[in-house]
């Protein structure tokens, strides 16, 4: 099968508004992308897979009028990266759109946020310590979330992935799911429904139908990863879309229990005709806030590898009508992470980490440290 040629970023457009700057990447066709956080300097990297910049786009990215806090480069013949300077940016939104295909990036600067802030109080005799920076989502009201469905993957006759010492994915996901249920109910006061509360088999289609029939506002699916290379470890969070890369497609195929070749059929149709822009955006924001919270909480105690936010055609994400994510919390094929998942402490911290992300999404009024 011949290789698919890189998707061309035909043009770059940007417009500076009072509160934010909008950058639009005009694409030859839809493109898969990943997002990851980096330090020294503090930045977010958005990588467009199998893509390249046109001469027009490259020229605009290098032009002196292009926003200083955004760097768009072609570091590889088949990869375009967008780097956001988090020292200058308080928040951003990323939305893939079709007809025509484009990637829309809205960036909120700290300078604009400070310019619209309330007047400072009179000077004190002793200077205050610098306050924690606030992302723009701190200005948005709490989301109207009443009912959340938690979906522990696999169960019953379907054990999911099996670790070297015999640990079953179905047992790990259920333990984390039950802990997450209690946190969401007790600390957020939300109604939480479980697709399963014990070791039973539930069809993938029935999980999505359950969430839809209950008019759920969020759907949180919990899974454990596996990889042929046993040294691979870490966490990643998915929302529905065309697979970000080959491994994302393989992960979705394994969780959907279908051959890779059969997985992508109809996905573009679903994206175009069923999913609304709002669901796409909300799922992406939920995935991003959850992934950030998981890394932030767990990295304090464990050697966390951040595989980022990705898209893939998981069945339970494809057919749910509400914002939905699927968390792959660790690799059961990695013996170190399998041992961690055998401990109550790690599973409790993992549930707390996912809770932190959902809370940040539901109640964006709180201050979030970048």
Counting residues of the chain whose pLDDT is more than 70, the rounded percentage is 78
Q: Which residue has the higher pLDDT, 2 or 333?
A: 333
Residue 223: per-residue pLDDT = 96
Ramachandran region, residue 28 (left: φ > 0; alpha: ψ -120 to 50; beta: rest): alpha
**266 has pLDDT over 50:** no
**27 has pLDDT over 80:** yes
**145 has pLDDT over 90:** yes
Q: Please name the residues in contact with 370: beta carbons below 8 A apart, sequence gap of 6 or more.
A: 42, 86, 90, 133, 135
**140 has pLDDT over 70:** no
Would you place residue 111 in the very low, low, confident or very high pLDDT band (cuts 50, 70, 90)?
A: low
Tell me the mean pLDDT in the region 312-330.
Answer: 88
Tell me the mean pLDDT in the region 243-255.
Answer: 58
Residue 255: per-residue pLDDT = 65
Counting residues of the chain whose pLDDT is more than 90, the rounded percentage is 48
Q: Are strands 218-225 and 147-152 parallel, antiparallel or unpaired?
A: parallel
Would you place residue 360 in the very low, low, confident or very high pLDDT band (cuts 50, 70, 90)?
A: confident
Q: Which domains does the chain have, with CATH numbers?
A: 7-115 (2.60.40.3500), 147-362 (3.40.630.40)
Residue 313: per-residue pLDDT = 73
Identify the top-confidence range among 114-118, 124-128, 299-303.
Answer: 299-303
Tell me the mean pLDDT in the region 75-92.
Answer: 90
Quick: pLDDT tens for 271-285: 444 444 567 778 888
Lowest mean pLDDT among 44-58, 88-102, 215-229, 318-332: 88-102
Around Cβ 38, how many Cβ atoms within 10 Å?
Answer: 12
Would you place residue 269 in the very low, low, confident or very high pLDDT band (cuts 50, 70, 90)?
A: very low
Tell me the mean pLDDT in the region 8-28.
Answer: 88
**237 has pLDDT over 70:** yes
Quick: pLDDT tens for 152-209: 999 999 999 999 999 999 999 999 999 999 999 999 999 999 999 999 999 988 999 9
**324 has pLDDT over 50:** yes
**267 has pLDDT over 50:** no
Q: Which residue has the higher pLDDT, 301 or 129?
A: 301
Asked if the peptide bond before residue 100 counts as cis, ω within 30 degrees of 0, the response is yes
Residue 120: per-residue pLDDT = 42
Q: Where are the alpha helices (DSSP H) in the chain?
A: 55-62, 110-115, 169-188, 204-213, 246-256, 260-263, 267-273, 277-298, 315-318, 335-341, 344-362
Would you place residue 369 in the very low, low, confident or very high pLDDT band (cuts 50, 70, 90)?
A: very low
**114 has pLDDT over 70:** no
Lowest mean pLDDT among 53-67, 112-126, 339-353: 112-126
Q: Which residue has the higher pLDDT, 302 or 135?
A: 302
**pTM summary value:** 0.63
3-state helix vs strand vs coil in the chain, percent to 5? 35, 30, 40
Instruction: Determine the distance from the C-alpha atom of residue 219 to the mean position of all C-alpha atoms in its chain, rounded to a whole number.
Output: 13
Beta partners for 106? 22, 93
Please state at what angle helix 344-362 crosses helix 277-298, rounded to 10 degrees: 140
Quick: pLDDT tens for 28-68: 998 888 888 888 888 889 999 899 999 999 999 999 899 98
Q: Which residue has the higher pLDDT, 76 or 279?
A: 76
């Amino acid at each position: 099968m011949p290789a698919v040629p890189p998707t061309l970023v035909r043009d770059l457009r940007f417009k500076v508004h009072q509160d934010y700057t909008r950058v639009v990447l005009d694409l030859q066709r839809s493109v898969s992308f990943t997002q990851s956080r980096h330090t020294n300097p503090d930045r977010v990297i958005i990588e467009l897979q199998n893509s390249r910049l046109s001469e027009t786009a490259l020229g605009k990215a290098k032009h002196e009028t292009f926003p200083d806090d955004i760097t768009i480069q072609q570091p590889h013949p088949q990869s375009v990266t967008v780097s956001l300077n988090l020292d200058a940016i308080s928040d951003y939104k990323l939305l893939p759109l079709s007809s025509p295909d484009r990637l829309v990036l809205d960036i909120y600067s700290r300078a604009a946020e400070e310019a619209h802030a309330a007047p400072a109080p009179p000077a004190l005799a002793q200077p205050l310590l610098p306050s924690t920076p606030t992302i723009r989502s701190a200005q948005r009201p709490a989301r109207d979330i009443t009912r959340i469905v938690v979906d522990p993957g696999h169960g019953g006759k379907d054990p999911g992935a099996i670790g070297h010492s015999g640990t079953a994915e179905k047992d790990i996901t259920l333990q984390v799911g039950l802990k997450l249920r209690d946190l969401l109910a007790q600390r957020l006061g939300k109604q939480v429904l479980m697709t399963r509360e014990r070791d039973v088999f539930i069809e993938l289609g029935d999980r999505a139908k359950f969430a839809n029939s209950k008019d759920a506002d969020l759907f949180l699916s919990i899974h454990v990863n596996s990889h042929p290379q046993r040294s691979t470890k870490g966490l990643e969070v998915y929302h529905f879309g065309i697979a970000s890369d080959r491994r994302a497609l393989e992960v979705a195929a394994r969780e959907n229990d279908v051959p890779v070749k059969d997985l992508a059929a109809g996905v573009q149709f679903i994206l175009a005709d069923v999913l609304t822009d709002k669901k796409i955006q909300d799922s992406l924001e939920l995935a991003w806030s959850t992934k950030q919270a998981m890394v932030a909480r767990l990295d304090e105690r464990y050697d966390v590898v951040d595989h980022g936010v990705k898209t893939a055609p998981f069945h339970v994400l494809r057919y749910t009508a509400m914002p939905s994510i699927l968390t792959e919390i660790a690799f059961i094929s990695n013996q170190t992470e399998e041992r961690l998942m055998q401990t109550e402490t790690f599973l409790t911290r993992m549930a707390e980490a996912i809770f932190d992300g959902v809370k940040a999404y539901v109640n964006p009024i709180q201050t979030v440290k970048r």
